[in-house]
Structures are given as C-alpha cells and as structure tokens.
Amino acid sequence: MGMIGETVDSIKSLQIRQVLTQAVSLGMIVTSALIIWKALMCITGSESPVVVVLSGSMEPGFKRGDILFLHMSKEPIRAGEIVVFNVDGREIPIVHRVIKVHERGDNGEVDVLTKGDNNYGDDRLLYAHGQLWLQRHHIMGRAVGFLPYVGWVTIIMTEKPIIKYILIGALGLLVITSKE
C-alpha cells in the first residue's frame, strides 16, 4: 500500500478515546495561541503586537515579508519614528515613518503626517477623504524590532489560499493520525 492507504488504515484504527484526546489537544493548542496573543496585546499596549510588511514602501529599511514588533506607549509620537496605522475605510494597516508632528493645544495631543521611505510624497492620498493628519487613535503602535523575511509565510498563504488549505489539511491529518 502507499502512504495514503496507511493513513486511511490509521484513521480506521482510532478509538473514540484517542479521537477525543487529540481533539482536546488541538483545542488546547488553539486556546494557548489565543491566550499568548491577548497577553502580548496587554504587554505591548497595541491591538496588533505583530504585523507583516506587505509592500516595498519602506525599503530599504524594511522589506516585504519582514515581521515588525509593535509597542504603544503614552509618550508622544515624534518625527522619525516608524508607526503602524489604520485609516478609516481600509482594513489593512500601513507601516510608514512619521515625517511631521503637529501639536494641538496645551494638552500634548499630536497629529502626525506619515510617508513611506520608498515613496515620493506623503501619505495624505492614503488617508480618508478630507483627512490631512493622523490622530493617536489611528496609530496601532511603534515599530520596536523586526524579523526579516519570516512574514513571507503569511503573504504566500494570503496570496495563494490553496496553500493555506493544504497546510491546514495536512496539519489536521497529522493530529488525527498521531499515535500519542
């Protein structure tokens, strides 16, 4: 027989207790990942503590596929910092550098203007219609570190969904057929 036949035989030989044990183990893995993500959100103060750079707009500093680690503190944002922000009407966050800071009044609140290092002009064309500056609530966090190229896994699975389904199916099959 081939590998598929052995896998089918392995699935047939499973007992209810083994299936339940493996389902509980899979549930614990998923739950642990969610708990770790929520803990990172609390520690970093960012709604998304890790993001993947999806375009070449920040090259040469950050390349497409780099993973950025974010932190959001109470300190005012300053020119030169790299921030990740959401714009109203767009669901994908953007990673760009702050090029101008505009202080509002005596309360210390700042509005910022951003630009990709590899882009010609500022980001006002990316902002919502009529919006000239980003406020603090638009900013998800400041980049505090990065891992080069690791985010390509996410990009490939997003751009080629069949690979994601094959990977999930293979992992599910591995969990179901494992003997322990």
List 46, 66, 123, 138, catalytic entry: 123
Domain ranges of the chain: 2-44+153-177, 50-149
SS3 136: helix
CA 5 remoteness from chain centre: 38
**Per-residue pLDDT tens over the stretch 146-163:** 999 999 988 988 888 898
Any catalytic annotation for residue 137?
Answer: no
List 9, 32, 46, 57, catalytic entry: 57
pLDDT at 12: 63
**How far is the C-alpha of 86 from the C-alpha of 94, rounded, in Å?**
6
pLDDT at 92: 87
Any catalytic annotation for residue 57?
Answer: yes
Q: By the 8 A CB rule, do 91 and 159 touch?
A: no
For residue 18, pLDDT over 80 is answered with no
**Per-residue pLDDT tens over the stretch 83-140:** 999 988 888 899 999 999 988 776 767 889 999 999 998 888 888 888 889 988 889 9
Any catalytic annotation for residue 96?
Answer: yes
Q: Strand order in 67-71's β-sheet?
A: 50-52, 67-71, 139-147, 82-85, 94-104, 109-115
Q: How confident is the model at residue 11 (pLDDT cuts 50, 70, 90)?
A: low
Phi, psi values for residue 96, rounded to 5°: -145, 170
| Phi-psi map region of 151: left, alpha, beta (phi>0 left; psi -120 to 50 alpha) | alpha
Q: By the 8 A CB rule, do 54 and 152 touch?
A: no
**Per-residue pLDDT tens over the stretch 25-77:** 888 988 999 999 999 999 898 888 999 999 889 999 899 999 999 999 888 88
Q: How many residues does the chain have?
A: 180
**Quick count: other Cβ atoms within 10 Å of Cβ 157?**
16
The architecture (CATH level 2) of 50-149 comes to Ribbon (2.10)
Q: Quick one: tokens of 66?
A: 């780099």
**Total-model pTM:** 0.74
Q: Quick one: tokens of 154?
A: 């996410």
For residue 15, pLDDT over 90 is answered with no
